[in-house]
Structure 1
Amino acid sequence: MDYEPNQNDGYMEVQEDQDTKKIYPAGQKSRTTIKYIRYLLLLIMVMVALLFLFANRDQINGDNFRRLMAKINIGVSNGAAENGEVRFDTLSNGNTVVYKDGFAHATVEKLIITDKNGTEFQNTQLGYRKPCIAANNRYVLVYDSGGTGLMVADSFSVLFETYMENNIISAKMNANGYIVVVTEGDGFLAKVFVYDASFREIYRYRSLNRYILDADVSADNKAMALSAMNIEGAEIVPEILYFRFSKEEMDWKVSFEEAPCVEVAIKNDGTVCGLFSWGMVSITSKGAECGRYEFDNQVLQCYSLEDGSMNLFAVSASENGDATIVACDEKGAVKHTVSLDYYGVDMDYCEGRVAVLGNQKCAAYSLVGKLLWEQAPESATGISFMGKSAVVVVSETKCVYNGIG
């Protein structure tokens, strides 16, 4: 005779499986169903996480993961930053750059790294007399201009620190973490050192008859370009020099009759751009001049030499006159112009947008001249993009970021 449970005896049902009868305690079946639902939700979450990691695989590394875990509030960003402010409580004024989704701030006392909400990841003693700072998506580079100290850090730790034998003139880091350092000479007019992404010295150049003003490393990590002043008897000749790390001797040089090259940059396609007081010149990786843009007696107020194809200049008839932003390609061809009713102090470029710090306002424009955002400059000293959708206004003790859509 089959057993028929009721509500009072603690059993829910009887199921027949061929010749076997299974009796389930009350509530077990519903609890099993809930367990399966939980496993299913967990599986869905894991799949979503894997899809997120795959979509952002180029940006996922240990440092970014630690930054994420260090934040108290974890959310999903839609790419448009809200307005906010980060203040740096330091004993002296410093230099600040955008680093990942936050800032790196260097003073004579310390290096501070935060996210855009002020979450502090690192606070390291520095002790540089004149700190200069730069950053890419991997590292922060700090060096003592006119001193000997140089440091590379990520969000949480110092990865490399050294003191050069002679005072540092300039230092740059490419997107892959390769570093080129120009120092004064000891028995030489200048020395140049190149370090790879593991901070091993891979190349060295000593100059007996040339002053080196600036240097840059190519995006493929295989070459460097130098801005030099060559002493030929009583004459000083401005030059751009090019070296491949696969050989010791110079690959090529281009000489100029005009003023020295104040900055040299190697584009992603290998084109070498040299900035002069009179304009910009472009040279192929083979050493042939391929384009120029001349300022035509206008004054250069500020500029942005990007890794991409665009070069931007704010030029005016006078030092404090209203500026015109000129965007030209690596060949020197003018692609866009934007007229301003103020003079430029600093500028940055990102994906078809230009941010300008002027004497009267901070503003962001599209390259066709559409105003995207503006505010009063107050005590600002610099301006940068944090991605395409946010502009960061930098002063000596704080950063203010503004979403521009």
Structure 2
Amino acid sequence: MALQKKNKSNITRFRDDFRFAVAGGLRSLALIGLLATVIFCIYRYQDDLNLANARRIYSYLSSARASEKSEFTSFAFEAGLDSEYALFDMGLAVYGGNTFRYVTALAEGDFVHQMNAARPALSAGERQVLIYDRGGKNYAVVNSYSCLGSGTLESPIVSGRMNARGAFCLVTDENGYRAAVTMYDARLNQVFKWQTSEYYIVLACPAPDGRTLSALCVSERDGSTYYTVRVCSVREEEPLCEIPLEGRQVYSLCYNEEGNLVIIASDGVYIYESDGTLRASSAYPAGALIAFCHNYGDTPAVAIRAETAGEGVEVRLVGADGSPRFTGTYEGVPRAVDLHGNTLAVLFRTRLVTVDLAAEKPQARARRDTGARDVLVRPDGRMVLVYTDRAELVTLEEDTQ
């Protein structure tokens, strides 16, 4: 049998294997990207790289290892100073004595920011807090560990409001104009400004999506005061609509969970759609309103005097369609009302009434208390009682019938 001669054309040639080279190149690119990210973070947050923040991080890690929650239980206000406060994240935002403080339970974990303000005010979103000086020109935006930005305006600030996502409005008393409203996005970029000599602007509120805002404007005709809500888009100079409110006094502008504008006025709660159409309302006698609350995305709550003498106070939660989500009648005059989610709190001089709205039949509890001047409901249903000298965290388990 004859052997076949070798034929080089019958030999299969394999391509060079470049997989290891490609993997090595990708790994190098990843390391370069990681190094560039570290350099950028050091450059961008160089002001936050200090010993105080290092202590806060160490305290946080120590607390996490011990499986403890980073939430405050109590805080004492500085004696002799008026303090402004607001719930923020799992702690308390407090301003007093030209110092803003974010209070938590972490040892040496409080974030502190200095800002001069004669009449300070706070407006908190989910991740940021707006600090501004009513009647002054300073403002700042902070989160739980740093100052994101600050500024000094040319005109005095009348009011300010931040939505849940961090967009905020500042109303100013302008020279040469009656007033102006300026809106900023969550990154502190100015996205809208409207100056007017026709109205005096009292309040302004950004919509949840940050694309529109509502401004409460006041004018005078024939010696009488008239209120008008002007709804504006950040992309247009002309208003989307104007809502005439005639002579009724307005106490609050805010948006509900459906994105509709809710107005709490002297004679009722009014709910408007984005085009200015009145969707629903819940009326009460003029002058009967005692206390109210309306947080972004929550149901508005009002405490009004009962129509019949001796019946006490009616607390009413107004749903998106104008119908009462809950009503309750209590004795005494409430000092404060707050609502978050399914937890309602009504503070009286000698007791705190809490209502669990999640139950099939809302259950009310009364906790004896003396001296508290305000109550704040957290997202988890726990409450903060505010006294003249301190703030304390309380739980529903402490309540008694």
Q: When the two structures are superposed, what TM-score results if normalisation uses the length of structure 2?
A: 0.77
Change (3 A) 1:90 1:309: closer
CA contact (8 A) 1:209 1:231 kept: no
Matched AA of 1:391: M
Structure 2: segments with no counterpart, 5+ residues: 1-52
**Correspondence 1:180 to 2:172:** no
Residue from 63, 67, 86 that aligns with 1:73: 63
Q: Which residue of 1 aligns with 2:368?
A: 375
Change beyond 3 A, Cα 1:262–1:300:
same
The amino acid of 1:390's aligned partner reads: R
**1:349 paired to 2:342:** no
Q: What is the rounded CA distance, in whole Å, between the counterparts of 1:270 and 1:132 in structure 2?
A: 25
Counterpart in 1 of 2:272?
A: 283
Q: What is the rounded CA distance, in whole Å, between the counterparts of 1:371 and 1:291 in structure 2?
A: 28
- RMSD, aligned CA: 2.8
Single out whichever of 65-74 and 150-159 deviates more from structure 2: 65-74
Tell me which of 168, 180, 187 is aligned to 1:191: 180
Contact kept? 2:334, 2:346, Cα under 8 Å? yes
Counterpart in the other structure of 2:9: none
Q: Deviations over 1:263-290 (max 9, x none)?
A: 2112232211112111111110011111
Q: Alignment identity in percent?
A: 18
State the shift of 1:91 in Å: 5.3
2: CA distance, partners of 1:66 / 1:300: 47
Matched residue, 1:216: 205
Alignment match of 1:399 (pick from 385, 391, 395): 391
Could you state the TM-score of these two structures normalised by the residue count of structure 1? 0.77
Is residue 239–residue 260 contact of structure 1 (8 Å, CA) maintained in 2? no
| Aligned partner of residue 96 in structure 1, secondary structure | strand
In the other structure, the counterpart of 1:122 is 111
The equivalent residue for 1:359 is 349
Contact preservation (8 Å) 1:177, 1:196? yes
Residue 322 of structure 1 deviates from its aligned partner by 3.0
> How far 1:222 sits from its partner (Å)?
0.5
Separation (CA, whole Å) in 1 of partners of 2:288 and 2:155: 34
Given the superposition, is the C-alpha separation of residues 70 and 77 from structure 1 closer, same or farther in structure 2, using an over 3 Å criterion?
closer
Query: What's the CA shift string for 1:155-202, capped at 9, x where partnerless?
Result: 222111111211111100011110100011211111101111110111
Alignment partners' CA distance in 1, 2:332 and 2:57: 40
Counterpart for residue 388 of structure 1: 380
Gaps of 5+ in 1: 1-63
Conserved in 1, the CA contact under 8 Å of 2:63 and 2:106? no
Cα 1:369/1:118, change in 2 over 3 Å: farther
- 1:239 alignment counterpart: 228
Mean Cα deviation higher: 220-229 or 292-301: 292-301
Preserved contact between residue 383 and residue 393 of structure 1 (Cα < 8 Å): yes
Q: Which amino acid aligns with 1:376?
A: D
Report the secondary structure of 1:262's partner residue: strand
